[in-house]
Structure 1
Amino acid sequence: MNYQIITQPDDLKRVCEQAREADAVMLDTEFVRIRTFYPQLGLIQLFDGEALSLIDPTTFKDMTPFVELLRDTSVLKVLHACGEDLEVFQNAFGCTPFPMVDTQIMAAFLGHGLSTGFASLVSEYVGVELDKSESRTDWMARPLTVKQLEYAAADVFYLQPLYDTLLEKIIQAGWWEAAQVESDLLVTKRIKSVDADNVYLDIKGAWQLRPKELAVLKPLATWRYKEALKRDLALNFVFKENDLLSVARFGIKSAKQMEEQGIDPRSVRRHSARIISLVKAAEQTPAEQYPDQIERLMDYPGYKQLFKKLKDEVKRVSQSSGLATEFLASKKQLNQLLSWVWKKDRDPAKLPDVMQGWRQELLGEKLNKLV
């Protein structure tokens, strides 16, 4: 497994132009995401079947040759379990690999669970046992160790034979086009614009608040989200979610009250004045402008019984198709269907996953009739 470390512009241009001559390239990234809002890109692995390149993005101001490869529609990009990688590419380069296929999704169409790991698949299909001990290492540290570099190189070197084997099997099984569609769906789910005014809906426990309290939570959540973006900090490092709920629930308007509620003292010192002003302003909101009470699907009449029926149907289709139940329709996707029917009146512009593509034909119509 020979690899080259790319730190110079001329080398980056050379390996990316060479990769664009291939029909398919193997891609992976190594990144760190602990305290930051955005993932920090530490390494890019690229294998075109001949040259294996470890690109160090920390040394480049201009990554144009690589971005051109990502956008080259004549080259298929192959990744494994690439949900977070997509976010990394989008944040670093303003685009995602296209066209792209995920080998974890390909494996799912061959009966594997949707979360089957790379090492497990390489062991089964390539017959190689991979060392995954470096998966939690610090990829922003320099210099990278030989062990780190070899670990990173293996992730694309063995992706090639895995992809080749899965491709042959998935074409035989008749699922190749579906795997490409499913990979595209993954991109649309991972890369979506966020409405800062509605991030309060994503806070766990927000459903417990009354409309008057939601009127306080809403601007607090928007402020926290914008602050996290501005300072590139993970949301809970700006202000903890539970603390935000406490402020909204009790209408806290003093630093002393915050401390009495057990809110993180560092957050109180840094943000109490801003939060107090937001709470005071929010409490002036007229009642007719309060957000609607958040209705949980599980509180709808007959939810449990209907959900069980849907789940039983998924199991039946799983047995007949050989596809794992959580891949056919996860709990989230079944709830998405119910929400589409109950809250969106089956709006054709907002189709749930199970009513699109290969799922609709295999499963979606049956589930829709059951609802």
Structure 2
Amino acid sequence: MNYQIITTTPQLEIVCEQAKQQDVLMLDTEFVRTRTYYPQLGLIQLYDGENLALIDPIAIEDMTAFEDLLRDTSILKVLHACGEDLEVFQNSFGCLPHPMVDTQIMAAFLGNGLSTGFAKLVEENLGVALDKSESRTDWLKRPLSDKQLDYAAADVYYLLPLYQKLLEQVTQAGWWEAVQQESDLIANKRVRQVEPTKAYLDIKGAWQLKPNQLVILKALAMWRYKEAIKRDLALNFVFKEHDLLAVAKYKIQSKSVMEKEGFDPRAIQRHGSRIITMVKTAMTIHQDEYPAPIERLMDKPSYKQQFKTLKDEVKKVSQKSGLATEFLASKKQLNQLISWVWKKDRDPANLPDLMQGWRLPLLGEKLDKLVK
């Protein structure tokens, strides 16, 4: 397994130009995400079948050549479990690799679980046991050791034969177009922007609050989200979600109460006064402008039976198709469908996952008829 380490712009340009001569390209990233809101890119692995390059984005000043490669629609990019990689590309380069397929998705269409790991697939399909001991390494630290570099290179070196084997099986099974549709669906979800005014809806337990508490939570959640973006800090490192909920629930307006509730002293010191001001301001808002109560699907009387009916149908299709139930329709996707019918009156402009792409003829049309 030979590879070259790319640390300059001219080297990068040569590697990317070579890659453009191929139809298919293997891609992977190594990143760190502990305290930051965005993943911090540490290394890019690229393999075009002939040249394997480990690109150092920390050392290279101009990454334009790589950005152009990501955008080149004549080259298929192959990744595995690409969700966070896509986030890395979007944040670092303002674009996604396109077109793109995910070998984890390909494996799912062959009856594997949706979250089957790369090492497991490589061992099962290629008979190679990969060393995954460096998976938790600090990819921002320099220099990287030979062991780290070998580990990173293996992720794309073995991705190519894995892709080729899965492609043959997926094509024979008639799922190739569906693989592309599902990969596109994942990509589209990863680039959706959070609406700051709706950030409070993502806080666990928000449904328990009354409108006069939600109006406080809405202001606090929007502030926390904007603060996280501005400082590139993970949300809970700005202010813990549980504490944010407590402030809104009990309308806390003093630092001493925050201390009694066990809030992080550093968060109190840094943000306490601002939070108290936001609480007081929110409490002056007229009730006509309060957020609506959060209605959970599971609290509706007919929900349990409705969900069970859909789940039973998914199991039938799973047995017939050989696809895992959680891949066919996750709990979130089933709830999305029920919500689409109950709350959005089957709005064609807001189709749920189950009512589009490969799922529609296989499953969606049947489930749609079952939702009352």
- Aligned-residue identity in percent: 71
Shift of 1:9: 1.1
The amino acid across from 2:368 in the alignment is: N
Q: What is the alpha-carbon distance in structure 2 between the residues aligned to residue 241 and residue 200 of structure 1?
A: 10
Shift of 1:104: 0.4
The amino acid across from 2:249 in the alignment is: R
Q: What is the alpha-carbon distance in structure 2 between the residues aligned to residue 24 and residue 63 of structure 1?
A: 20
Match of 1:351? 351
Shift of 1:359: 0.3
Q: CA RMSD in A?
A: 0.6
Q: What is the alpha-carbon distance in structure 1 between the residues aligned to residue 251 and residue 338 of structure 2?
A: 34
Shift of 1:153: 0.2
1:365 paired to 2:365: yes
Q: What is the alpha-carbon distance in structure 1 between the residues aligned to residue 225 and residue 241 of structure 2?
A: 11
Match of 2:120? 120
Q: What is the alpha-carbon distance in structure 1 between the residues aligned to residue 357 and residue 12 of structure 2?
A: 38
The amino acid across from 2:239 in the alignment is: F
Q: What is the alpha-carbon distance in structure 2 between the residues aligned to residue 190 and residue 344 of structure 1?
A: 23
Shift of 1:252: 0.7
The amino acid across from 1:131 in the alignment is: D
Q: Give the SS at the match of 1:226.
A: helix
Shift of 1:261: 1.5
Q: Give the SS at the match of 1:49.
A: coil
Match of 1:299? 299
Given that residues 111 and 322 in structure 2 are in contact (C-alpha distance below 8 angstroms), is that contact kept between their aligned partners in structure 1? yes
Match of 2:239? 239
Q: What is the alpha-carbon distance in structure 1 between the residues aligned to residue 265 and residue 56 of structure 2?
A: 39
Q: Give the SS at the match of 2:58.
A: helix
Shift of 1:182: 0.4
Match of 1:35? 35
The amino acid across from 2:362 in the alignment is: L
Q: What is the alpha-carbon distance in structure 1 between the residues aligned to residue 82 and residue 38 of structure 2?
A: 16
Match of 1:99? 99
Q: What is the alpha-carbon distance in structure 1 between the residues aligned to residue 88 and residue 294 of structure 2?
A: 32
Per-residue CA distance 1:93-137 (angstroms, 9 max, x = gap) = 000000000000011111111100001111111111111111111
Match of 2:60? 60
Per-residue CA distance 1:22-44 (angstroms, 9 max, x = gap) = 00000000000000011000000
Match of 2:131? 131
Given that residues 314 and 325 in structure 2 are in contact (C-alpha distance below 8 angstroms), is that contact kept between their aligned partners in structure 1? yes
Normalising to structure 2: TM-score of the pair? 0.99
Q: Give the SS at the match of 1:273.
A: helix
Match of 1:181? 181
The amino acid across from 2:277 in the alignment is: S
Match of 2:340? 340
Q: What is the alpha-carbon distance in structure 1 between the residues aligned to residue 255 and residue 370 of structure 2?
A: 53
The amino acid across from 1:369 in the alignment is: K
Q: What is the alpha-carbon distance in structure 1 between the residues aligned to residue 136 and residue 334 of structure 2?
A: 33
Q: What is the alpha-carbon distance in structure 1 between the residues aligned to residue 60 and residue 229 of structure 2?
A: 23
1:108 paired to 2:105: no
Shift of 1:60: 1.6
The amino acid across from 1:165 in the alignment is: K
Q: What is the alpha-carbon distance in structure 2 between the residues aligned to residue 321 and residue 360 of structure 1?
A: 14
The amino acid across from 2:89 in the alignment is: F
1:318 paired to 2:318: yes
Match of 2:268? 268
**1:140-151 aligned within 5 A:** 140-151=140-151
Q: What is the alpha-carbon distance in structure 2 between the residues aligned to residue 249 and residue 161 of structure 1?
A: 54
Match of 1:211? 211
Given that residues 8 and 61 in structure 2 are in contact (C-alpha distance below 8 angstroms), is that contact kept between their aligned partners in structure 1? no
Per-residue CA distance 1:47-80 (angstroms, 9 max, x = gap) = 0000000000001221000000000000000000
